[in-house]
Amino acid sequence: MHSETPDEITTVPRQPTRTHGAMLPSEIPPGVQEVILPSGERALAYSTGPTNSPQVPVPAAPAAQPIPAWAKATALLAPTVGGGIAIAAVGLSAAAPGLVAVSHVLWSAVAAIAAGGVVAGAVIGRVRARITAAQRPHITQHITASGMFGRANGTINHR
């Protein structure tokens, strides 16, 4: 007791007080944490992961593996094949006039073969006609009729 005051003074433990609507740390719900914005202001934000997550060890980077032989061979062949195609294209462009001439010759040959087939067919037909003409009988007919509506009479001769 104090000598000047007759009343007894007791002390109560001081609790944190709110300032400007701020929440006490015990009032923050789970999954929400206090963050400091780039402007220096403090704000509450939802956390994207667990608040007390244990440190997950980061796996070590895999060791470098040698390049397979087939990959090396393919990488070496790719420019060679591309160069071969380019040379073939240059060769075809140089040979184009000759190829056009060859195509004209081939079309002429096809036309000559077709014309030869037609001529051969005609010759074979005439030869057959002469051969069979000696063996076939020759038939002639003479038909006569008198008047516009008259009855027709005819004779057939075999030779």
- pLDDT at site 116: 95
pTM score, whole prediction: 0.29
Q: Are residues 8 and 1 in contact, defined by beta-carbon separation less than 8 angstroms?
A: yes
Report how far residue 140's alpha carbon sits from residue 130's, in angstroms, rounded to the nearest whole number. Answer: 19
Q: State which residues of the chain have pLDDT below 70.
A: 1-22, 49-56, 58, 133-134, 159
